[in-house]
Amino acid sequence: MKHFVISDKNNRLFSFRKICIIIFAAFISGIIAGTFIALTRDLPQIRSLESFRPAGVTRIYSADGILLSELYLEKREPVQLKTIPYYLKAALVATEDRTFYRHSGVDIKGILRAIIKDIIAGEYAEGASTITQQVAKTFFLTPKKSLLRKIKEAILSFQLERRYTKDEIMELYVNQIYFGSGAYGVESASKLYFGKSAKYLSLTECAMIAGLPKSPSRFSPLINLNAAQKRRNIVLKQMLATGIISETEYNTSAGNPVILFNHEQSRVIAPYFTEYVKNYLEEVIGASRLYRGGLTVHTTLLSNLQDAAEESSANGIAAIAKRMKKRGMSNPDPQCALIAIDIKTGGIVAMTGGNDFYKSPFNRATMALRQPGSAFKPFIYALAVERGFTQHSLLLDAPVAFKGGKSGKDWIPHNYSGGYEGEITLRRALAISENIPAIRLAEILGPSSVAQFAHKLGIVTPLAPDLSLALGTSGMTLVELSSAYAVFPNMGKYIKPFCVTEVEDHRGNIIWRTKPQKRIAMSEEGAAIMTNMLEAVINEGTGAAARVLNRSVAGKTGTTNDHKDALFIGFSPSVLAGVWVGRDIPASLGKGETGAKTALPVWIDFMSKALSSKQDEVFKVPDGVVLVKIDPATSHPAASESQVVTTALYRKGTEPE
């Protein structure tokens, strides 16, 4: 009886222990399961890789198909693994993960070795990372070093290995990993460092690129060429040790110098223009889409005209700087801006914003508010023509004083020439750029009316509505001044200048297209008469040097007080160009540096190139005007064919008898 009691007690004890073990095991399992759930519940879904599209490179092209610039947050150009050279793939495996094609996502031995090193070091540095782990970390996790991140990295790596093949993982790796100096992926790295596609890399170049992921910033050859070369040779030695290359190949490649691509040859074409395009597109489609969308941007720029603009500006600046130095000016640093516009479309076909974008990216064609001087006068004469004045209407060119100027004292303006002609026609007053007739005309029309009319023509900057406006004392940008002039050859129609025609997404679909902003700014007859009067500036006045073109051209010089600004705005029937020359901190260019001497030669040089491939064009003449042969000195009808004559336009019924 006693024996059975003991046995029963033992059975009960055994059962109790068994239950406790089960409960404890369940408890431990619960903890493990809970920990696993806690670790994995916020892990990203690796299926997202199937719809992943890396941020692309946006490319900006000229109207004639020349690549001007590339925009990106991360320079990345995805390529297929099959296009990558064998040596590059092999070098990455030999350097980053020798057991890549054998492990299941995590290198257990490597992790154990890393843990031992961390224990010896007394801190967590970084566990061993396979290529799969690097993909998991790059796509899904933060770069912050921690044991928790390492566990998540391992779990994601196992999932990646179950879902994707080794080559698919390798393709993700070579397109995503950072290779230094802003290059992500092997294709971008290859073009950055060697100026060619990755498929054309040599063994030596493959080894150098394969050595970068370990420490992209330290080993970038653009930062430390010596360190990059040493790292390349370590990669070559690893390739030799793993049998990828022979000893002969190693000796040959390790002895080769690193020859990098010359980036001076790949500087952005038309940098002032492309920066203008970039700023514009940031507003209309947004910065994120612009820099990440892999877009194709088609612009209005014509590469041959841009080359002409840059060459003409450089030639002009060299001549001006030489004259300034000859006068004893130290560090004169004159600047030149040029903008050219297609008159019929409003598209900007060429732009220079200064001497050197990389020294000074400030765009003097679109951002600098400078006084136009006498280049403003055509707007006063245009308003007068619209109000019924004719080319032979007379103004008094004589000394004058205006009470209560800006300083409270009488304002006594003068002609630049210092002389006066008495009664003078509108045509001649504009042609020789006399100040007093322009001021008297502004007084007759009203300064406020002149300002309003200038805004109607395209001037957007606020204008001071006083008589000094006639001398171009209100600052404005070269682009708005030039676009306002385009109204004259465009038969009275204003077109807001633009730089982009359309934008395509990465699939080639058009996502944005420009809609030119047009409006009628003045009558066709008035615009034609003004064009004719501006032809007189060249044929009979201050723009005489442009006669060398032997073309139908028109324009106006501009010079401000103390020769701080020199301008010429002129056009043919199809192309308009505006040129400004000055110093960034307004100061004199030197005595005699007028618009005719300083800016006009740049304009002539540019237009001779721009018009060289065009047949001679003539300005349109609307039905409402008549052509009259006149004596240019008096604007009276020519008495005989023997005297000097020119052709003037008049509204029908207003022509001189």
Backbone angles phi, psi at 474, to 5 degrees: -90, 130
Rounded to whole angstroms, the Cα distance separating 611 from 633 reads: 30
H or E stretch covering 527: helix 524-540
Q: Are 424 and 434 in contact (CB under 8 A)?
A: yes
Please tell me the distance from the alpha carbon of residue 467 to that of residue 453, in angstroms, as a whole number. 15
DSSP bridge partners of 500: 299
Compute CA distances 123 → 115, 118, 148, 293, 490, whole Å: 10, 6, 15, 42, 75
Identified catalytic residue from 69, 77, 96, 482:
96
Query: How many Cα atoms occupy the beta-carbon half-sphere of 248 within 13 Å?
Result: 0
For 352, how many CA atoms within 13 A lie in the half-sphere containing its CB?
Answer: 29
Chain centroid offset of residue 52 CA: 28
Q: Is 288 helix (H, G, I), strand (E, B) or coil?
A: helix
Residue with tokens 């080993």: 219
Q: How far is CA 177 from CA 8, 386, 474, in A?
A: 68, 66, 54
Three-state DSSP at 451 gives helix
Q: Looking at 220, 312, 374, 635, which residue is catalytic?
A: 374
Decide if 374 is catalytic: yes
Instruction: Dihedral sign for Cα 567, 343, 311, 613, please.
Output: negative
Determine the Cα–Cα distance for residues 81 and 95; give it in Å rounded to an integer. Answer: 18
Residues paired with residue 582 on neighbouring β-strands, in sequence order: 335, 565
Q: Are 158 and 130 in contact (CB under 8 A)?
A: no
Active site residues: 96, 374
